[in-house]
Amino acid sequence: MVNSTQSLVDQFGRQVDYIRLSITDRCDFRCQYCMAEDMTFLPRHEVLSLEECARIIKVFVHLGVRKVRITGGEPLVRKNALWLFEEVGQLTGLKELVLTTNGSQLEFKADALRKSGVKRINISVDSLQPARFKSITRTGDLAKVLAGIDSAIATGFEGIKLNTVLMRGINDDEAVDLVQFAIDKQIDISFIEEMPLGEVNHSRENTFVSNITTLKQLQSQYSLLETKHSSGGPAAYWQVAKTKTKIGFISPHSHNFCESCNRVRITCQGELYLCLGQDDKVDLMPLLRAFPNDDTPIIEAIMNSMKIKPKGHDFDLQRPRPAVIRFMSHTGG
């Protein structure tokens, strides 16, 4: 790898020190807001190898990235995924290796993930009612996820957080129950406003739940203390008084957080997206494969990509079509 003292700073002066890398578009769930019920997944040759994923991470860490989140699809359904965590988990300069998962595989993989260097883990849980959970995920078994959460807690990660997308008329009556579950488990929880990505079988304008509404509801039940805590991402956190639980709110609609954006995303096809809600991208896979022993062209492409990172995502739920046609599972959850 060539020597470089450059850091990743975009045209608006924002430093990028956080990447989210999807290692597969496949998932054992079919969550309503994330993908279609009948998905066609990519053939293997169109997906980054795990060695290519590791190479990308090493290049970004060399360029000053300090936090790497592995996503999917469901990353833990990728064969030999643990190798990647072991390969990059101890990189010099990498402050945090973290994982986003649906929890279905955690019961048997949590311990190995922790030993490989994963410090924090986010687990997507949108309902605590088995039948409703099955409806939202289309294929998910809540019991497996709950067992995975318990396994993760027992393993002793530095941080465990639930991620929840509330949808009006679907699961918006469970906000308090989910927070109480997090309090009882002594873990954190974040509420994420549904994003207009990909064509789905419901109107997002009709199902949208503002985090402003959710916060007011929770304040009527709990004493919440606003904090300056940051996990390196876009969430604003409130501490539940006299508990170990923090509640995060990721609010791309009700509170645009783009002015402080510090992240980019790489899909499992090696597409470097500069913004979740825009189509600006740079294709890294051709460079990875054309220059297997020379990182210089990849570094140059990444550095140049900072010139096209947009100011913001500009989500608008009233548009007749989603802001971005690609599914969340394609970009990386």
- Rounded Cα distance, 99 and 267, in Å: 15
How far separated are the first and last CA of the chain, in Å rounded? 29
Comparing CA positions, the residue from 23, 122, 18, 121 lying closest to residue 76 is 23
pTM confidence score: 0.89
Give yes or no for a contact between 298 and 284, defined as CB atoms under 8 angstroms apart.
Answer: yes
Give yes or no for a contact between 130 and 143, defined as CB atoms under 8 angstroms apart.
Answer: yes
pLDDT of residue 202: 47
CB atoms within 10 A of CB 57: 22
Per-residue pLDDT of the chain (333 residues; tens, 9 = 90+): 544 456 899 999 999 999 999 999 999 888 777 776 777 788 999 999 999 999 999 999 999 999 999 999 999 999 999 999 999 999 999 999 999 999 999 999 999 999 999 999 999 999 999 999 999 999 999 999 999 999 999 999 999 999 999 999 999 999 999 999 999 999 999 999 987 654 544 455 788 999 999 999 999 999 999 998 887 777 899 999 999 999 999 987 555 557 778 999 999 999 999 987 777 899 999 999 999 999 999 999 999 999 999 887 554 445 444 455 555 656 766
Give yes or no for a contact between 246 and 240, defined as CB atoms under 8 angstroms apart.
Answer: yes
The beta strand positions in the chain, using DSSP E, are: 18-22, 67-71, 96-101, 118-124, 159-164, 188-192, 224-226, 236-240, 246-250, 263-266, 271-273, 281-283
19-331 homologous superfamily: Aldolase class I (3.20.20.70)
Give yes or no for a contact between 246 and 237, defined as CB atoms under 8 angstroms apart.
Answer: yes
Domain spans in the chain, listed from the N-terminal domain onward:
19-331
